[in-house]
Amino acid sequence: MILTSSLNLEAACRQNWDVIVIGAGPAGAVAALQLARQNLRILLVERKTFPRYKVCGCCLNQRAITALQQIGLGDLLSSAGAVPLTQFRMQYQGRDAVVTLPGGLAVSREVFDTQLVQSAIDAGAEFLQETSAMLVGTSENQTSRTVELCCQGQTAGSASAKIILAADGLGHPSLQNCAGFDMQVAPDSRIGVGAAFTVKDHAAYPAGMIHMAIHRSGYAGLVRVEGENLNLAAAIDRDFIKQCAGPANAVLQILRESGSAILPEMHQCSFKGTLPVTRKTLRPVGDRLFVLGDAAGYLEPFTGEGMANAITEGMAVAQLVPEGLAHWNSTLEQKWLRTHAALTDDRLFWCRWLARLLRSPSAVSWGVRLFHLFPGMARPIVARLNH
């Protein structure tokens, strides 16, 4: 499915919007969908052209699936060709362990995000792609905020809304000219690396299983998505990428040393990278502004935690926006801080705890051996991440 903008930039600048949503990933698209269903004037702005590839594990855990069903998007997953997930396999230094998953699906971000945006458009949201947005100044007479809209690197106009949602991913570039939205980046944060392959041979990486290759300097997750596609997403130490002379060689080294299969297609594709991933925005709210999804803080995913968090935050912020449209105050800002913390903090703790364990060779070695012999020991951890 190829998306086109539902209006042009000039029309976007002429209108007075209730909400401008910056970023059309799961958090932004779900928020735009839910707000459009409330008959609000919504502008969803995206700097990329859809469909677009994104470095991501492409997994939806049971929490994400349940959330989508709650907002009437359960059929979207089947129409997208999402692949059911039943197992999680860890490999380290030639050893492996397989754990049962309590449900889950794998679907490429090209397909999933495009269908989410189309759902928002169908609900009445306007969509403007190939356009970046930058929040400027402070609120105008305490009733609206303004964003500069840029096309091909040039400012092309500005649009105003009563409330802005910043859901534009790692580093939230839309807020770079606004004070008070500093991000705390972990000194040892890894770099995200991803690639997608068309692979007809399913023997090495069969459908229905998340494959995780673990290395002292990072890990790589591989999963079959719709069609003949295999998605790879990794988190790798920056020094190791330099040592290997690039992300592609680093990924291949991780697969090789873990005992995972290296496919011919992996030598022929282009690997993409991200900013350092372990980060959070110290205060994800401001005057007539909510920050959500990866823009608020990155949840290092293992079985789809990041996607689940983005979807649930999109749903949650849509419940607070009507109150903000009627009357914005500091009490509302505190509500979002509490909501964001409730949705994120506990899962953030567990994901970062697991990420820390993966940096310890001895912990990984003993963990893989124990889970191989007693797979039931991993179930409480998996359940905790999926709740």
- 243 pLDDT exceeds 80? yes
The H-assigned helical ranges of the chain are: 9-14, 26-36, 62-70, 74-79, 109-122, 238-243, 247-258, 305-326, 330-357, 361-373, 379-386
Tell me, yes or no, whether 267 lies in a domain.
yes
pLDDT digit string (tens) for 177-191? 888 888 888 888 899
Q: What CA dihedral angle connects 168, 171, 176 and 182, to 10 degrees?
A: 120
Tell me, yes or no, whether 4 lies in a domain.
no
Q: Which residues does residue 281 pair with via DSSP β-bridges, in sequence order?
A: 183
Tell me, yes or no, whether 32 lies in a domain.
yes
**Residue 382 binned pLDDT confidence (cut-offs 50, 70, 90):** low
Average predicted confidence (pLDDT) for the chain = 90
* Mean pLDDT score, 328-341: 95
Q: Which domain holds residue 130?
A: 9-57+111-185+278-351
Are 222 and 347 contained in the same domain? no
User: What confidence score (pLDDT) does residue 385 get?
Assistant: 60
Quote the CA–CA distance of 340 and 293 in Å, as a whole number. 10
Are 175 and 69 contained in the same domain? no
Tell me, yes or no, whether 1 lies in a domain.
no
CA nearest neighbour of 55 among 167, 216, 221: 221
- 198 pLDDT exceeds 70? yes
Are 231 and 267 contained in the same domain? yes
Tell me, yes or no, whether 2 lies in a domain.
no
Are 303 and 211 contained in the same domain? no
Provide the CATH number for the domain around residue 213. Answer: 3.30.9.30
Are 33 and 136 contained in the same domain? yes
Cβ(24)–Cβ(310) below 8 Å:
no
Strand ranges, E, within 101-180: 104-106, 126-128, 132-140, 144-151, 154-166
- Of 31-45, 48-62, 150-164, 342-356, highest mean pLDDT: 31-45
Are 283 and 271 contained in the same domain? no
Provide the CATH number for the domain around residue 288. Answer: 3.50.50.60
User: What confidence score (pLDDT) does residue 374 get?
Assistant: 74
- Collapse the DSSP code of 131 into the 3-class scheme (helix H, G, I; strand E, B; otherwise coil) and give the result: coil
Tell me, yes or no, whether 270 lies in a domain.
yes
Are 201 and 333 contained in the same domain? no
Are 301 and 367 contained in the same domain? no
pLDDT digit string (tens) for 93-117? 999 999 998 889 999 999 999 999 9
Tell me, yes or no, whether 115 lies in a domain.
yes
DSSP assignment, residue 29?
H
User: What confidence score (pLDDT) does residue 376 get?
Assistant: 74
pLDDT digit string (tens) for 308-319? 999 999 999 999
Tell me, yes or no, whether 45 lies in a domain.
yes
* Mean pLDDT score, 344-352: 73
Are 289 and 264 contained in the same domain? no
Are 181 and 191 contained in the same domain? no
As for how many domains the chain has, the answer is 2
Are 233 and 365 contained in the same domain? yes
CA nearest neighbour of 89 among 205, 263, 244, 238: 205
User: What confidence score (pLDDT) does residue 21 get?
Assistant: 98
- 370 pLDDT exceeds 90? no
**Residue 387 binned pLDDT confidence (cut-offs 50, 70, 90):** low
Are 304 and 379 contained in the same domain? no
Cβ(316)–Cβ(71) below 8 Å:
no
User: What confidence score (pLDDT) does residue 301 get?
Assistant: 67
